[in-house]
Structure formats: structure tokens, C-alpha cells
Amino acid sequence: MKRTLISLSVAAGLALSTVVATAPAQADAPPTSNGQAKFTTPLVHAHRGASGYRPEHTLAAYRLAVQLGADYIEPDLVMTKDGVLVDRHEPEIGGTTDVATHAEFAGRKVTKSLDGKATTGWWVEDFTLAELKTLRAKERLPAQRPESASYDGQFEVPTLDEVLALREELSLQTGRTVGVIPEIKHSTFLHEAGFDPEVALMSAISAHGLNRPNAALWVQSFELTPLVRLDDALGYKAKLVFLVSASGRPYDLEAQGDPRTYTDLLTPASLKALVKDVDGLGVDKARVIPRKADGTLGAPTSLVADAHKVGLDVTPWTFRAENSFLPVDYRIGTNPATHGRMGDEVTRFFEAGVDGVFCDQPDICVAAREDFLTR
């Protein structure tokens, strides 16, 4: 079920660029495809919050992201033993919390099969919310992000309700609509464990008044089944994003014996089918502009144009400022942790017509967007 989207002409968009540059795009005006006939200001999504500066998926990271100009904040959703949606990148939390230092939880370190792969660690679904709240977040990449690591041990693991309440608070404080783009993590895994993240999500967004067509809300998943279920069976009314990796296939399809890969699902014929249920694609940025064999940035693929032809938006991930994540020709020096020319890299994607970008350092993407719009 595709929703009507709002657009600006190229001329009008550029005429308003000086306003847009100082006030990020209003999140209640969902982006329209940046095709030849239409133009919209690309959105900046704070990937797990301002995760280049604060431990990811914390209220502090989201608050800073909005202060830096991000249009949307992104919580990843997993579930506690007592069925509460909480915000962690993965159900295994050994790398993003201090759980390993809690002797009382030493016996909960176990090996599970996560999307068909044996993974050892501590699992959110083995903790009640009260137990989880005794843990503190820590930086996942301390060697590359020492500033963020200096905040280790200060922040709780937030619930989805807490993130949605913060979104409302930040919208009031800034005078603009702050959007939220949650991702349902490993839906098949959670259902096999006896949970129902889609129903829990519907309850939360309904309680916060977000289940409506013009809400500043996009729900994401690397699996198709939860998105189709939300759209067709659960009465979901906002926008939906199908996430696409650089390779492989959705685990729900694998579990169902469906051989289609992510690449198969991006053919023009498949995109025509996808648009019946989803509104956008969140793709590994290599799907939009791949790197050459020497590690430099190459030429754009046809994906943005193909998606726009059927009315799907395209938002690539993830833009990170550290040299180790950048194309070779956008690095500065040889230190992997040094910030290179991420603003120039993301500009290449704006030029390719993307509708938004996921950024660990949202201020850099906001500044690059301002420069792009005011050319």
C-alpha cells in the first residue's frame, strides 16, 4: 500500500535552499524520489544516534544527534525476557554494554543460533527489563572513537517508549518535527523465541500517536515478512523501509526455503512488486556507488533511477567519518581513526539522487547537505 508523498520542484527546492540550510527538512513531509522531474531535500538520519560521538543507541546519542541537525533518529529494536522493546543493535549485547563485568550475569553467557550462525554472548531476551537497566552502554569501537568511549558506563539501555518520548521532547525543544526510523532486528529469531516484535511495535507507536500516514515514522527491517505483515495484517499506516545488504539474502526467506537474494529483490520487476508493501529501500551504500578494485569510489549504479521509476525512495548506509570506513580517495593521512573527507563522499550520493543518508556523524552530513543545496 503506497502512500502519497509530498514533493518540491527543482527550482522551488533551490530557491528555498537558504532556509533549508539552517532548518533541517520537516520530517512530516515524507521525501519524494529525487528523479529528473522532482526534487526533495535529502534527509539526514542519525545512525543509532550521533554514534560517532556517543555510545550508540543511548538517549544521549539521540539528543546530540538532533542538536547537530539530524532529521530522524534510528533505534534498533530487540526484546527483553518480559516482552519489552528495547534499543540495541543486536540481541547479543556483550560488545555494547558492560554486562561482562557483572559477575551476577556470568552464567548467562551462552551460544545461540542467530540467523543460522552460532553466536556466543549475553542475550537481551534472557534479561528482564529491570535486570537490563542495571547495565550501562559502552562504545563499540573504542580504538577509533576514544571520545565516545570516554562516556562508557554513563548511560542506560533505553526502551522504545523512552526513545519515542524523547522524540516528542526534542520536537518541542527545537520547534521542528523530529522523525524516528526504528528497525525491527531479527524478527524471525524473535518469533522462534516466542516473541512478537511487530505487535509490540504497533502498541508503542499507537500509544505515541504515530500510526498515521503523515507521521514522521519509517519502520525498517532486513526481512520482508515483518514489513508485509505490518502493511497487510496489523493496520500499520506510516512508511516502511526494506533494508538491503551488499550481499546475501533475507533470513526470513532463507528460513522459508525461498532462494531469492537481496540482488534478486532489486531487479526492476521485483521493485514493482515491493512497492505494493514498502515505501523505500535502505541499502548498503555500495549498491548506489560501489568502490573500484583499488578502493576508490566508482560510478553510480542504476539502482536509484530504477527505484524512483516505481516510486521507492533510496537511503544508503552508513556514512562514517573515520578513514577506515572511507573510500581510499577520501581519506586524510594513514591513521584509521582520523576523520577524512566524509562530507565530500556523501555529496557524491546527494548528486546521485538519494532521498536520505544514514550518518554516524550527522553534523558532517547536515553541513554537506547545506553546501549541496546552495550551489
Residues with catalytic function: 47, 89
End-to-end CA distance of the chain: 36
CA distances from 16 to 35, 41, 101, 261, 350 (A): 18, 10, 52, 41, 17
- The full DSSP string for 217-285 is BEEEESSHHHHHHHHHTS---SEEEEEE-SSS--HHHHHTT----TTGGGSHHHHHHHTTT-SEEEEEG
CA distance 316 to 310: 18
Identify the H or E element spanning 90. Answer: none
- Answer for the pair 88, 157: CB distance below 8 angstroms, yes or no: yes
Q: Residue 364 has which C-alpha cell? A: 558532517
Verify cis geometry, omega within 30 degrees of 0, for the bond prior to 40.
no
- The single residue listed with the C-alpha cell 584509521 is 336
CB atoms within 10 A of CB 112: 16
Q: Residue 352 has which C-alpha cell? A: 546521485
- Answer for the pair 354, 288: CB distance below 8 angstroms, yes or no: yes
